[in-house]
Amino acid sequence: MTNMQNIVRNAQIDAALKRAEEEMRLRGFSRRTISTYLHALRQYFAFRNTNDPSLNEENIRQFLLQREQDGSCAQTRNVLLHAIKYFYRDVLRARQTIGIRPAKEASTLPVILSRDEIRSMLSVTKNGKHRLMLALAYGAGLRVSEVITLRVRDLDLPGLQIHLKAAKGNKDRVTLFPESIRTDIQNLIAGRSPDDLVFESERGGMLSARTAQAVFAHTLVKAEIAKPATFHSLRHSFATHLLENGTDVRYVQELLGHASIRTTQRYTHVTNPAIRNIRSPL
């Protein structure tokens, strides 16, 4: 391919990506989803290596097969497929449908931290802001993206609630605020305006998700916990411990903001008291 052909091809791809981005913004997609879909489409266009944007199902199939051979997991390949389907269905308005079905994803149980492990992590965290960040993520069942974007106005300290705006799926939800850290949070946000972030970076801006995850990873090592846990394990632990306390699964679903009860029910496989009470015959 000549330089001129490359220039033309790149211009056409850029135009297609811009159109896709505009469509997703009009539809109210989150910034993270837009970024993920655009990255997926760039990979697909690079694989096609052609100026022709028309739908070619066999081409899509070969692209996904190559990703499978490269070691991409089922979940990653499904994201790629969803992005491609969205592009042809909702951006190009193609009449032809894509008959490729999503890959079957592995069914894995979430990594749960025990109450003692949570207490150990909080006790070894000497940085007050970091300790409160981890405590609130666990005590309210927050995603890392919700922690770093949390504003002072989102906190209802007298009512012990957090009002999350445009959370995952662009939906608002209300969750619990742990009373045990209310005074510490009040001291942290004292003198701030409602629009200020609760957990600011050292330079005054928003913490990055990577920084929050690094804080968690460092604390996990410091507490000498060997589980393959991530920041999201705090949210998993919140749900599991509520169910262990006897909270109805539908209330847990509402607090987590799950669209489907099936997503929440996977925690019952971790905390099933009937299984816990069974003893091995050995």
List, for residues 256-266, the tens digit of each pLDDT value: 888 888 878 77
Same domain, 71 and 14: yes
Confirm whether 108 is domain-assigned: no
The predicted structure's pLDDT at residue 77: 93
In this structure, the answer to whether residues 83 and 174 fall within a common structural domain is no
Considering 89, 168, 192, 218, which one is annotated as catalytic?
A: 168
**Active-site annotation holds for 85:** no
Segment 202-249, tens digit of pLDDT: 887 889 999 999 999 999 999 999 999 999 999 999 999 998 888 888
Q: Does residue 105 fall inside a structural domain?
A: no
Distance (Å, whole) CA 44 – CA 50? 11
pTM of the model: 0.71
Domain hosting residue 121, numbered range? 115-276
Q: Say whether both 130 and 46 belong to one domain.
A: no
Pick the catalytic residue from 37, 88, 138, 267: 267
Q: Is position 259 within any domain?
A: yes
CA 250 to mean position of chain CA atoms? 21
Helices (H) then strands (E): counts for the chain: 13, 3
Which residue ranges in the chain fall short of pLDDT 70?
A: 1-10, 51, 107, 166-170, 270-278, 280
Instruction: Give the separation between CA 207 and CA 146, rounded to whole angstroms.
Output: 11
Decide if 165 is inside a domain.
yes
168 has catalytic annotation:
yes
Residues, the chain: 282
Is residue 88 annotated as a catalytic residue, yes or no?
no
Query: Do the Cβ atoms of 239 and 231 come closer than 8 Å?
Result: no
Which residue in 131, 143, 236, 241 is the catalytic one? 143
CATH number at residue 46: 1.10.150.130
Q: Quick one: 218 and 125 in the same domain?
A: yes
For residues 41 and 184, give the distance between their C-alpha atoms in angstroms, rounded to a whole number: 45
Q: Which of 27, 56, 91 is the last residue of a domain?
A: 91
**Does the active-site annotation cover 258?**
yes
Query: Cα separation of 114 and 188, whole Å?
Result: 27
Residue 100 belongs to some domain of the structure? no
In a domain, 98, yes or no: no
